[in-house]
Amino acid sequence: MVAHRGNDQDAVFKALADASRRTLLDRLRQRNGQTLGELCDGLQMTRQAVAKHLGILRQANLVAWRREGRERLHFINPVPIHEIAERWLRRFELPQLEALAQLKQKLEGEEP
């Protein structure tokens, strides 16, 4: 079951809006499958705060976890980021470099 109606894109953007959460994703990218405790190390905030961030990342489908004994192992899911890049950011790419030229000129005061 995949179940992404394109609306969860908002959840992904919101999840990526926080630097701590981006750090967590970066850590998981470097080494997948870390426990909650490991992800807390050096992160100048309590375990509960980190757990909340991971919960938000999970709601955005960017992270999943499973329990292993008394630990919780976290795994990154790069697909939503991929989709954002493909379906949204791509619109603002090269075909819009024209817009950049426009920008410079218009700001300098050319009229229509």
Partner DNA sequence: GCGATGTGCAACCATTTGGTTCCTTGTTCA
Partner DNA sequence: TGAACAAGGAACCAAATGGTTGCACATCGC
5 binds, among DNA, a copy of itself, none (CB under 5 to 8 A by kind): none
The strand ranges marked E within the chain are: 34-35, 63-68, 71-76
Which 3 state secondary structure label does DSSP give 68?
Answer: strand
49 binds, among DNA, a copy of itself, none (CB under 5 to 8 A by kind): DNA
At position 22, the amino acid (one-letter code) is R
Query: Nearest 5°: phi and psi at 91?
Result: -60, -25
Segment near a copy of itself (CB under 8 A); pick from 36-44, 46-54, 97-105: 97-105
Distances (CA, A) of 5 to 8, 15, 59, 62: 7, 17, 14, 15
Q: CB-wise, 67 or 91, nearer to DNA? A: 67
89 binds, among a copy of itself, DNA, none (CB under 5 to 8 A by kind): a copy of itself
Q: How far apart are CA 71 and CA 8, in angstroms?
A: 28
Q: Where along the sequence are the contacts to a copy of itself (CB under 8 A)?
A: 10, 13-14, 16-17, 19, 22, 25-26, 29, 32-33, 64, 66, 73, 75-79, 81-82, 84-85, 88-89, 91-93, 96-97, 99-100, 102-103, 106-107, 109, 112
